[in-house]
Amino acid sequence: MPPIDTVVIRHPKERLSKCSLVPLHGRPDIRFYRATPRFRFDSTGYLLLTPAAPVLSAVDRGRPLLLLDGTWRYAAQLERCLDGDPVRRSLPGSIVTAYPRKSKLFADPDAGLASVEALYAARRILGDDDPALLDGYRWKDAFLRNFE
């Protein structure tokens, strides 16, 4: 199976020094965009990972993947740059992050994952099990041990 076409839209305030997806820049199967104030993206037909949506499954194979990259407090702002009608899906609640979250200002959702963890999990569920997606991720081994 060829790699899944993936689009990542990053919030302009996302700090690249803390971004788990930076090691993936330059991969031909992943396109990165910065959500500047006038940025628009036609999300029609893309699988958009979002909480409180039906769970992603093998039935969703064949669709491109859309990942919004930023802190949880910017998620709604990132969604406003989307045109069209994406297919909203969530990840199974059994997938647990290995990233040591320590926000002093905002509460993260219980099932929140680092962006690279969410990307790997989604693509694996869709039949594209590529552990190389996690190669630059400091907590790769711990995440893979916890992944069910």
> How far is 146 from 48, CA to CA, in rounded Å?
24
Q: 111 pLDDT band (50/70/90 cuts)?
A: low
> How far is 83 from 104, CA to CA, in rounded Å?
33
Give the least confident one: 38-47, 60-69, 138-147: 138-147
**Phi, psi angles (nearest 5°) of residue 54:** -55, 150
pTM: 0.87
- Domain ranges for the chain, please list them: 6-146
Task: Give the residue with greater pLDDT, 66 vs 97.
Answer: 66
Structure tokens at 51: 């909480």
**Phi, psi angles (nearest 5°) of residue 140:** -55, -55
DSSP secondary structure letter of residue 106: S
Q: What is the pLDDT of residues 2-38, one digit of tens each?
A: 789 999 998 777 766 567 788 889 999 999 999 988 9
> How far is 34 from 110, CA to CA, in rounded Å?
27
Structure tokens at 31: 């396109």
Q: What is the pLDDT of residues 136-145, one digit of tens each?
A: 898 899 889 8
Mean pLDDT for all residues in the chain: 85
Looking at residues 53-60, what average pLDDT do you find? Answer: 96
Looking at residues 58-72, what average pLDDT do you find? Answer: 89
Q: Are 2 and 62 in contact (CB under 8 A)?
A: no
Which of these, 89, 64, 66, 96, lies nearest to 78 by C-alpha position? Answer: 66
Task: Give the residue with greater pLDDT, 76 vs 148.
Answer: 76
Max mean pLDDT among 10-24, 53-67, 83-97 falls in: 53-67
pLDDT of amino acid 21: 83
Q: Are 45 and 64 in contact (CB under 8 A)?
A: yes
> How far is 22 from 136, CA to CA, in rounded Å?
8
Q: Amino acid identity of 142? A: A
**Phi, psi angles (nearest 5°) of residue 16:** -60, -30
> How far is 84 from 104, CA to CA, in rounded Å?
35
